[in-house]
């Protein structure tokens, strides 16, 4: 059984589908702070399989200990956490409290239960302002905001676990995959589950879809004077279904005889850079719908371009993204147009 923390969220719900489709039993723990139980109902509808859901906070040590006692868990995927960069600047303590303490409590419960197979949701934000592209996993790491710093601190904390284990037991049993996501977009092709931000979206794709559906007047394009193909920011967008499949590959690797040697980071992206205007134009063309936009000032803290070298994930996880820009924009719109107000 796979314990999925934050499994009711955007990436978590898509990952539950892929886990169930690959015959894993799934146990979700989620506080529903930023998600709806409806997402998990729809996961069951889509797959025709059931999962176990416990509503609760990963920072609750008693709850976490009981899960490892009551269920035959053999690996954990840890999605639970807060993820809005701007909010993290305004509320750093809330971000450190949730992201750091949840991971700490989870790892203590794992250690006590001797279940040491972990897949952690990291982010391309740990590369800071990239000096060279594409980004490989061994490039220098830095953070430009409290959200990114929380991911960086967690990565470092996790890197300390194998050595401590070896010291205590003469051998290390921790296997940790740090999955550094680039920019997740898209939705399940059924249109039943997708990204449902509770506030005004910070990210590009939900802003585009909410504009297209009439919830926002127009998209603000943050800067057209970057040194990129058309002056707008370039990112490595990855379809959330591909990303979800990457988690299944990581879990399979952890549970295989070969395993992972201690802690290993993997970039999950497509390796392709796409500009804001390329994304907007592709969305408009493939869905035959206008997306009004206006060029405005750069957003503070944004980098010009960021995209992945995905060789390590290809070689070691036997994973690569299969879906392109067309599926990303079509599936995002399929979800938003069928669910104009998300799960509400
Ligand atoms: P999301 O907000 O949709 O999902 C996170 C889930 O965790 C939510 O369902 C929320 O209710 C739950 N949660 C939060 N704190 C919790 C706690 N203490 N205990 C239990 N549940 C808790 O976010 P997402 O986009 O699915 O992201 C999942 C993970 O991936 C996060 O760790 C995020 O930082 C990371 N990530 C996301 C992106 C992105 O662009 N979406 C990019 C890189 C990394
Ligand atoms: N962006 C934009 N308008 C928006 C949101 C984002 O122009 O309303 C741009 C942003 O400047 C960046 C790209 O879209 O170049 C991706 O931004 P997002 O916040 O989705 O991801 P991140 O910057 O964290 O990679």
Which residue's alpha carbon is nearest to atom 7 within ligand 2? 221
Instruction: Extract the tokens encoding 38.
Output: 């409806």
Distance CA 123, CA 13 (A): 18
Q: Give 199's pLDDT tier (boundaries 50, 70, 90).
A: confident
Distance CA 15, CA 215 (A): 28
In the residue annotation, 237 being an active-site residue is answered as no
- From 10, 95, 147, 237, active-site residue: 147
Which residue among 83, 143, 178, 266 has the greatest number of ligand 1 atoms within 8 angstroms of its CB, and so is best to mutate? 83
Distance 337 CA to ligand 2 centre (A): 21
Distance 169 CA to ligand 1 centre (A): 33
Beta-strand (E) ranges in the chain? 2-5, 26-30, 52-55, 75-78, 117-123, 175-181, 183-185, 219-222, 234-235, 237-239, 262-268, 274-275, 293-296, 305-306
Q: What is the residue extent of each domain of the chain?
A: 2-338
Distance 124 CA to ligand 2 centre (A): 13
What is 2-338's CATH superfamily? NAD(P)-binding Rossmann-like Domain (3.40.50.720)
Averaged pLDDT of the chain? 97
pLDDT computed for residue 171 by the predictor: 87
- Ligand 1-lining residues (CB < 6 angstroms): 5-6, 8-12, 29-35, 57-59, 79-81, 83, 98, 102, 121, 123, 181, 184
Give residue-wise pLDDT tens across range 88-119: 999 999 999 999 999 999 999 999 999 999 99
pLDDT computed for residue 271 by the predictor: 98
By C-alpha distance, which of 332, 121, 129, 146 is closest to 247?
121
Q: What is the pTM of this model?
A: 0.98
Helix (H, G, I), strand (E, B) or coil at 237: strand
């Amino acid at each position: 059984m796979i314990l999925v923390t934050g499994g009711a969220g955007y990436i978590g719900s898509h990952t539950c589908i892929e886990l169930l489709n690959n015959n894993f039993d799934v146990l979700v723990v989620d506080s529903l702070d930023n998600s709806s139980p409806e997402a998990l109902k729809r996961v069951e509808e889509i797959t025709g399989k059931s999962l176990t859901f416990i509503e609760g906070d990963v920072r609750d040590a008693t709850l976490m200990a009981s899960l490892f006692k009551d269920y035959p868990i053999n690996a954990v995927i840890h999605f639970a956490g807060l993820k809005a960069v701007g909010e993290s600047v305004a509320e750093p303590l809330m971000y450190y409290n949730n992201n750091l303490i949840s991971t700490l409590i989870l790892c203590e419960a794992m250690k006590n239960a001797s279940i040491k197979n972990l897949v952690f949701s990291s982010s391309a934000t740990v590369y800071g302002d990239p000096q060279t592209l594409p980004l490989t996993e061994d490039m220098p790491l830095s953070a430009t905001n409290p959200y990114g710093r929380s991911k960086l601190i967690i990565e470092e904390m996790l890197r300390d676990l194998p050595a401590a284990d070896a010291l205590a037991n003469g051998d290390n049993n921790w296997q940790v995959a740090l999955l550094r996501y680039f920019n997740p977009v898209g939705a399940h092709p059924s249109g039943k589950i997708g990204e449902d931000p509770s506030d005004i979206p910070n990210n590009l794709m939900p802003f585009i879809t909410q504009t297209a559906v009439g919830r926002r007047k127009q998209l603000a394009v943050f800067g057209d004077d970057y040194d990129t193909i058309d002056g707008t920011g370039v990112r490595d967008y990855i379809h959330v279904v591909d990303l979800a499949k990457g988690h299944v590959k990581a879990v399979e690797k952890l549970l295989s005889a070969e395993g992972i040697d201690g802690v290993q980071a993997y970039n999950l992206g497509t390796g392709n850079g796409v500009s804001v205007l390329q994304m907007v134009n592709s969305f408009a063309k493939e869905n035959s719908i206008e997306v009004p936009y206006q060029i405005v000032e750069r957003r503070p803290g944004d980098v010009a371009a960021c995209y992945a070298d995905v060789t390590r994930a290809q070689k070691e996880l036997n994973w690569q993204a299969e879906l392109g820009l067309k599926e990303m924009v079509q599936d995002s719109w399929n979800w938003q147009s069928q669910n104009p107000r998300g799960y509400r």
